Chain A
Amino acid sequence: MKALRIALTLAALAVLAAVPWFGSDVLIQFGINALLLAVLAQGWNIIGGYTGYASFGNSVFYGLGSYGVAIAMVQWQLPFGVGLVFGVALAAAFAVLLGVPVLRLRGHYFAIATLALAQVMTAIVSNVKLAGRNIGLVLPPLNNDPLFYELSLGLLVLATLTIFWLTRSRFGFGLIAIRENEEGAAVMGVNTTLYKTLAFALSGIFSALAGGIHAYWVTFIDPESAFDISLNVKMIIMAVFGGPGTILGPVVGAFSLSAISEFLSSEITSLAGLFFGVVIVAAVVLMPRGLADMLRRFRKMGWRYFAENIRTHRL
């Protein structure tokens, strides 16, 4: 069975990689967006799904990555690769400096703190001259969608492989232990502060890389779009819908939700955002443990699965 799963995944990967050759321009663009969202979801998966610290502000890292690339390329005339490294460095520094104090907060206080940090970054960056204040920056144009597509796909593969490595490594085990019982993990020898911060930084790095690629692709960023708070909504719901704490869950969630949203918005434009909101609400009530859990249990329980979820959680 395992060999079959690997074969299927590789086949899917090959198909995805081939899209720029047989797909339309619109499909490629949709692909880039969906792939980058999947990267964000996987990034969130590391800190939210595996470590159990639900960050509501990973958009900060996305924005830092975007501005890292933009500042490097526009203000300092450095190549894209260097810009990406700069964005990653910004994200990592932020994760360590602010992560250490903020990760000491439990549950919803952590969520609120990350939300507050995300809110404030837009305000801060709007005041920074190097970042173009609230006018933003215009990057050198590069009209090569297939390249951005393959870059995004490569990043997603990297993110997913990282998660795969997590499930087999001492580090990943430590994170899961922290999620399941943080104090229990500490007395068994897990350096919880270090591990949480590393997980936060790792998730931030992937978000930053996604932001960097996106910035170069759309050629223009400003504080509102770079630190777009609605990204937090999307990445969390995609990860949670697909299955937090699983290897492929967030990818499945990202692709399926993107596809449905795209379909809806081609029919009725402003409904895309509304769609995500409704999906979150419905999913939290009916399938709080995500798609993976639902598919597994639905086979045994049928429609009763949803009723069960409600029954265990209602007052």
Chain B
Amino acid sequence: MDLLGQILINGILLGGLYAVMALGLALVWGVLNIVNLAHGAFIMLGAYVSWYLYTYASIDPFLGLPITAVVMFAVGYAVQRGLLNLIIRAPMFNTLLITFGLEVVLTYLAQLAFSADFRTINPAYAGNSIALGPVVLPVARLLAFGVAIVLTVGMWLFLLHTRLGRAIRATAQNLVAARLYGVEPRHLYAMTFGIGIALAGMAGGLYGTVSQINPYIGAALTAKSFAISIIGGLDNPLGVIVGGLFLGILESLTALYVGSTYADVASFGVLVLVLIVRPNGLLGKAA
């Protein structure tokens, strides 16, 4: 019973991290209709940025998240404005293909720049845990969970209650109307994508504190982020929390009762099932 409780806690903590991983993807997809197959590569880059800040400037990974965010925002803005913007009005397949290619490019560039070695971000307190009754909460994971929830809820509030957030949603729904309101669409698209990538970068920073990073983690993280977004549903910004928690708990339980190598099988199996049975996700409308 205690073990089950621990597994559930692990799942929930993991779920928080999953939520923020998928947040940027869901934002860009739901709002800009850009399906970014390179999302995981940006998470990977963010992780490396955090690692550099920690290793060469001794900046704590959690406190350094804003810096990572700013750097990745700039990257995202540039990528959208300079590249993705050129194919926005092309068929969706072109977006899939170009981001697919981008993922390859980013992975190889990372391999050249950072070498293929595994790295971790290991602040001194990372190994500690807090005991809470029968369960143990690893500090790093707990902090990651906390930041993740803050970011996710913050993004939701941002989209619903700030001027910029509303402008982003308006542009997504009606490009012409947005223009009439004085919004410059290219700038707005680039800003939105920049925010999405900043979120991915921060997720990477968090990821680096709980797991190893190397240039090749991008593809798996992309797939996982898609699973989270789709399972939770894209219509509601809080969907990623539902999707993240669901998958986090599912994977932890699967690892315990079936075997750790089956965790991925469970996740993607559920993804395929959701796509078939309820493509709008758990929080979305029934198809």
Give residues in A with beta carbon < 8 Å to B. Answer: 54, 56, 98, 101-102, 104-105, 107-109, 111-113, 115-117, 119-120, 123-124, 126-127, 229-230, 233, 236-237, 240, 270-271, 273-274, 276-281, 284-285, 288, 310, 312-315
Contact = CB atoms under 8 A, between A and B. Distances in A.
Interface stretch (B46-54, B61-69, B95-103): B95-103
A281 B262 contact: no
Contacts of A271: 108
Decide if the interface of chain B is mainly helix, strand, loop or mixed: helix
Interface in B210-263: 219-220, 223, 226-227, 230, 259, 261-262
Interface of B: 35, 37, 83, 85-90, 92-98, 100-109, 111-112, 185-186, 189, 219-220, 223, 226-227, 230, 259, 261-262, 264-265, 268-269, 271-272, 275-276, 279
Contacts of B35: 108, 111-112
Nearest to B95: A108
A115 B35 CA distance: 13
A274 B104 contact: yes
Given A108-B96, A115-B223, A277 B111 contact: no
A113 B272 contact: yes
A249 to B, nearest CB: 15
Contact of A116 (B88, B112, B226): B226
Most chain B Cβ neighbours within 10 Å, of A56, A102, A120, A124: A120
A280 B96 CA distance: 11
A54 B104 contact: no
B101 A233 contact: yes
A112 B230 contact: yes
Contacts of A98: 272
A84 to B, nearest CB: 27
Decide if the interface of chain A is mainly helix, strand, loop or mixed: helix
Contacts, number: 145
A277 B108 contact: yes
Given A119-B220, A277-B104, A281-B105, A314 B89 contact: yes
Given A116-B227, A281-B102, 18 more contacts: A102-B272, A104-B276, A108-B35, A108-B92, A112-B275, A115-B37, A116-B268, A119-B268, A273-B104, A273-B108, A274-B108, A276-B104, A281-B101, A288-B94, A313-B87, A313-B88, A313-B89, A315-B89
Contact of B96 (A111, A229, A230, A279): A111
B109 to A, nearest CB: 7
A314 B86 CA distance: 4
Contacts of B111: 270
B94 A284 contact: yes
7 contacts: A109-B275, A109-B279, A113-B271, A119-B220, A277-B108, A314-B89, A315-B189
A240 B268 CA distance: 27
Given A116-B271, A120-B265, A315 B185 contact: yes
Sorted nearest first, the 3 A-B pairs with minimum C-beta distance are: A280-B101, A277-B104, A277-B105
Contacts of A273: 104, 107-108
